[in-house]
Amino acid sequence: MIINIITLFPEMFKGVFEESILHRAVESHKLEIRISNLREYGLGAHRVVDDSPYGGGGGMIIKPEPIAAALEDITEKGHVVLTTPRGKLFHQSDAIRLSSMAVITIICGHYEGIDERVTELFVDEELSVGDYVLTGGEIPAMVIADAVTRLIPGVLGKDTIETGDSHYNGLLEHPHYTRPREFRGLQVPEVLLSGDHEQIRLWREEKAMEKTRHMRPDLLEAVKTQNRQPDRSGGED
């Protein structure tokens, strides 16, 4: 898989992509990261990439020409994503969907935004990692790249889709325990020591439901809504 990233701050990505799972994915040739420095496509001697907004208002807007030039310099663009606070909220289902693509390109939003004509001409979707505002789109790009990379077959050495990780099935993850069996008066639940895999599975499902109900009841509502959707397959009883 190839992930292209267009950014004003390429140095921010060095530590992230040179460590842990992302680094191993690159080393094993399952992932290729290509960073484009937007400043190199700036206009004039000062490499200008932004300007004041038409219609007035505070802040600066990224000009369309540098982004267009950066995109046109990328031979394999694939699916183009813009990180922006106004985008669709990024979910695990989006990570799964993007991980099936051979190439994605992430444009890191900045300042007050980018010229809307870039979005109209080049962007396939706009994504946000949360209902808050960051100083730029670099950290969201890292989040998306990380979430997508761990789903590439072979990166984690297992089938990551069929796991009990949080958000895969709409619920939060069940509690985990490891050695020692007793820690400061707290014991590992007996069912996990029983060797009864069916009982362990049922316990984990129950605890995942409890954790979700306590921490993220909104997820339960989403699961209920999904389960209530009518069958539109066209089949007959």
Catalytically annotated residues? 85, 112, 150, 165
Instruction: Kindly report the number of other CB atoms within 10 A of residue 103's CB atom.
Output: 17
For residue 5, which of 100, 71, 89 has the smallest C-alpha distance? Answer: 71
Count the alpha carbons within 13 Å of 160 in the hemisphere toward its beta carbon.
19
- Residue showing tokens 């200008």: 48
- DSSP per position, 186-237: EEPPGGGGS--HHHHHHHHHHHHHHHHHHH-HHHHHHHHHHHTS---S----
| Radius of gyration over every alpha carbon of the chain, rounded to an integer in angstroms | 22
